[in-house]
Structure 1
Amino acid sequence: MTINLNKYGLTEALQLTAKQAQPLQLGRVIEQHRELYRVISATGEYRAQVTGKLAHQLTATTAFPVVGDWVLMMVTDHESAVIEQVLPRQSALARGVVNGRDGQLIATNINTIFICMSLNADFNVRRMERYLTIAWDSGAVPVIVLTKVDLCDDLPEKLRLLADASMGVDTVICSATTGQGFTDLLRYLGSGQTVALVGSSGVGKSTLINYLLGTDVILTNTIREDDSKGRHTTTSRQLLPLPTGACVIDTPGMRELQIYIGNVDQTFAEITALSMGCKFNDCTHTSEPGCAVLAALAAGELTSGRLQSYHKLQREVSYQGLNSRQLEQEKLNRMFGGKNVMKQVKQRSRH
C-alpha cells in the first residue's frame, strides 16, 4: 500500500527530514488512545508506541506524541511500529488539567482553530474568552464558528455580546439545517492546511466535519431537550483528510476548559490597549490611582464582566509572574518537553 502524505500536510522540509532519517519512516499521528497511536506513513497505517528510550527522554507529558504530530518511527511488521522521535512542532494547542501542573495537548501542527459555539442556550461569552486565550498562544489562527443559527432568534444581541471577545477574529455563522455558512469555511481548508475543531459537546462539530468530508463518517447525536446541553459523541481526537486537500482534527467536547498557557493580552486586546495609558507600568487595574482601565470602566466604555473575566484568566495562566527567561522555558516545556529535548530533536533532524 502506498499513501500520499501530501493529503496529510507533508511539506518539503518534512520530506528532507524523512530522507535523512532512513531507515526510520516519517509518519503523522492520526489518532491516540492513551499510550497507543495510529500513525499514517507512505507505506500504510500502523499501530505504534513510543520506545522506552524516547519515553525516558521526554520529561513532560506534553512532549509525548499527540494527534497532529509528525514522528520518525521504525516499522516492526505490516501493522506495527515504534516511535523513536517527535519532530519539532509548528504549533501546539494545550489546556490545563484539574489539580495538575502539567498541561494536556489537544492537537499540534495546526494552522487554524475553529472554536465552535452554538447560538442556542449553550452560548457563553466567558467560555469563548477562555478558548481564545489558549488559541492565541498556540501558534495557530483562531476562527469563531457560531452554529445553529436557525435556533437563534436574537442573533444581533448575541453578536453584540461577543463583539469585544471576537475583536480581530474572523467569525462564521452556520446552520446544519439550512447549510448557511458552511461554504464560508472552505477558504480556511486549502491544500496542506490543518484545522482543529474545539468546543463543547453538542455544538455541531461532528455535523460540520461530516459536511466537509462529504459523507457521514463521524457519529452525531442530538442535544438534550431539557437543557440544550450536548451528549459526548467524539471520544478521542482523530485527524481526517478532506477532499479539499486539508486535514481536520476532531476533538471531544470540553465543557470545563482549564487554562494551561494562554495569551490573555491578545484575548482582551482593548484592555491591553487601555493599560498603555495607566500611570504605573505594573498597574494591576484593581485600585491604583491613574488607572486608565478603571477610568474606562467608570465611563461605561468597558463592562465589569469583561474586566472580571480578564482578572480571572490572568490568575489562571500558569506563567503569570514569570520573567522572560522563565516564560520561554515554560513554552519550551509545553512544545518540546524542555530545551535539551528540543536541541536533540533539531540535531537529529539535521543528520
Structure 2
Amino acid sequence: MIDKINLFKLGLKKDTLELFNEEYKEYFLGRVTLEHKHTYRVITENGEVLGRVSGKFNYEAFGTEDYPAVGDWVVLDRDSDKNGEAIIHKVLPRMSSLSRKVAGTRSDEQIIATNVDTVFICMALNNDFNIRRLERYISVVWESGANPRIILTKSDLCEDIELRVAQVEEVAIGIDIHVVCALEEEGIDEIADVIGVNDTVTFIGSSGIGKSTLINALLGEEKMLVNEIRESDHKGKHTTTHRELIKLSDGGVVIDTPGMRELQIYSVDFDASFKDVEELAEQCRFVDCKHKTEPGCAVKNAVNDGTLSSERFKSYEKLKRELWIMEKRKKFNERRAERKKNIKKFSRKS
C-alpha cells in the first residue's frame, strides 16, 4: 500500500481543508505544482495527476487570473489520470496572490504564485543592487497578502556590507533582512530556520542574483540548474523558464519562479510599503494635497530638510502614477468584460 502524502507538509491550511470538506467532499483536493499551456500538474494525497479545467470553468473565466496558477488548491474529479486527465472544477479561495501586470500595454494580471506565506525578495550586493527596484518589489509583496523578507545575496562580492544593509533598512520598514553567500552556504541556515513545515515560500528578483543557488542550498541538491558566473558582472544565469512548486526536505515548499526583467505593478499597498511617506502625507494641511506647491505640505518640507530622500519621494510618485494608469485600464477592462458577459447571456437565451 502506498503511503498517503501529507498535504499539510505541502502548505495546506486548516481553513482551506475545512472549506473543501464542507462543500466538495465528494471530489478530490490537490495543489498545482506546475503549469503547462493547457494542462496542470497537480499533487494529491495519492500522488501527482495531470489535469485540465472543465468546460464550465473555461466558460465562466474572464481573465488569466481566474485560471489555476502554481500554488493554487483545486477541486478535482479524480486523483489518478490512468483513465484520462483529471478535471479541475474549482480553484479554492487564495490566501495570498503574488502578481504583476503582464508585459506590454495590456492591463491583464499575471499570477506569479499563490497561497504563499513568505516572499523572499532577493537582491545581489554587486551590480544588481538597486534600492528603487527593491521598493517596487516590496510594494507588490505587501499587496499580495504574503509577508516579505529581504535576502541580500553574493555578500562575497561586496566591500561594504554594513552600508548596503543600512540603505536597505531605510526603505524596508519592519522587514527582516538576511545577508547570504549561497556558494559558501553562509546565512543559509538562517533562511532555513524561518521556513516552517507548513509554509509555502517563494524567491523573487532579477535574473542572475543567485536564487537557484540559494534554493539548491536549501534542497541540499543541485536540482535547479545554474550557468557559470560571467566574470564581467559576476552574475550566474538563472535557467528556470517556468514556475514550479518544489518540496523541501524538512517540510514546507518553495515555488521557484523565473528571474524578472521587469516588474510592472498591478496593485500596490502604499500604507505598508511607503509607510513613512503616507504618515507624512497625513500631516499635510490639505487632505487632497498633491505634494507639489501647496502650502503646509509636510511631504515637501521633509524632502527639503532631508528627512525624506528626494529619490524615495520620486519613487513613490512614480508608483502612484503607474497605479492610477492601471486603475483606469482595469475599469475599462471590467466594462468590456461585463459587455461580453451580457452578450453570452443573450446568446444562450436566443
TM-score (norm 1): 0.87
2:53 to 22, 34, 50: 50
The 2-side partners of 1:118 and 1:177 are apart by 13
1:205-284 mapped onto 2 (5 Å cutoff): 205-284=211-290
Out of 124-133 and 67-76, give the one that drifted further.
Answer: 67-76
* 1:179-194 superposed matches below 5 A: 179-194=185-200
Aligned partners of 1:135 and 1:142 also within 8 Å: yes
Q: Which of 17, 21, 24 pairs up with 2:24?
A: 21
128-137 vs 35-44, greater mean Cα deviation: 35-44
1:86 correspondence with 2:91? yes
Who is 2:344 aligned against? Answer: none
Counterparts in 2 of 1:33 and 1:59: CA distance versus 1, 3 Å: same
Q: Distance in 2 between matches of 1:318 and 1:134?
A: 15
Spell out the pairing of 1:37-186 with structure 2 (5 A cutoff).
37-75=40-78, 77-78=81-82, 80-97=85-102, 98-186=104-192
1:12 partner amino acid: K
SS for the counterpart of 2:15 is helix
Q: Answer yes or no: is the 8 Å Cα contact 1:195–1:248 preserved in 2.
A: yes
SS at match of 1:164: helix
The more displaced of 141-150 and 265-274 is: 265-274
Q: Does the Cα contact within 8 Å between 2:226 and 2:238 map onto a contact in 1?
A: no
Partner SS state of residue 110, structure 2: strand
Cα distance change on mapping 1:320 and 1:251 into 2, 3 Å: closer
Identity of paired residues, percent?
45
Deviations 1:166-211 (A, max 9, x none): 1211000000133221111123211211101111111111111111
Letter in 1 for 2:225: L
Q: Which runs of 5+ in 1 are unaligned?
A: 339-351
CA contact (8 A) 2:228 2:237 kept: yes
Q: CA deviation at 1:319?
A: 7.8
Say which structure, 1 or 2, has more relative contact order (CA 8 Å, 6+ apart).
Answer: 1
| Farther off after superposition, 170-179 or 87-96 | 170-179
Aligned to 2:345: none
Amino acid at match of 1:244: D
Structure 2 gap ranges (5+) = 339-350
Partner of 1:348: none
Residues 112 and 188, structure 1, Cα contact 8 Å, conserved in 2: no
Q: Is the 8 A contact 1:260 1:318 kept in 2?
A: no
Residues 1:161 and 1:202: Cα distance change in structure 2 (over 3 Å): same
- SS of 2:170's partner is coil
In 1, Cα distance between equivalents of 2:166 and 2:218: 29
Tell me how many residue pairs correspond in the alignment.
329
Q: 1:18 to 1:190 in 2, by over 3 A?
A: same
CA distance in 1, matches of 2:150, 2:202: 12
Secondary structure at 2:317 match in 1: helix
Q: TM-score, normalised by structure 2?
A: 0.88
- Spell out, residue by residue over 1:32-58, the C-alpha distance to the aligned partner (whole angstroms, 9 max, x if none): 123221100112101111112101112
Measured in 1, the distance between the counterparts of 2:324 and 2:259 equals 23
Deviation at 1:163, TM superposition (A): 2.5
Q: Secondary structure at the match of 2:183?
A: coil
Deviation at 1:227, TM superposition (A): 3.5
Cα pair 2:266 2:326 within 8 Å, conserved: no
CA contact (8 A) 2:229 2:236 kept: yes
Change (3 A) 1:186 1:258: same
Compared CA separation, residues 93 and 13, structure 1 to 2 (3 A): same
Choose 1 or 2 for highest CA Rg.
2
| 1:243-301 deviations in Å (ceiling 9; x for gaps) | 22111111000021101111133212111111121111111212211100110111111
| SS of 2:292 mapped into structure 1 | coil
Residue in 1 that maps onto 2:307: 301
- Which residue is equivalent to 2:35? 32
- From 292, 300, 316, the counterpart of 2:322: 316
Q: Is the contact between residue 210 and residue 238 of structure 2 (CA under 8 Å) also seen in structure 1?
A: no
Q: 1:143, 1:289 → 2: CA distance?
A: 38
Contact 1:30 1:39 in 2 (8 A): yes
Instruction: Give the aligned residue type for 2:322.
Output: E
Give the C-alpha shift of residue 68 in structure 1: 0.5
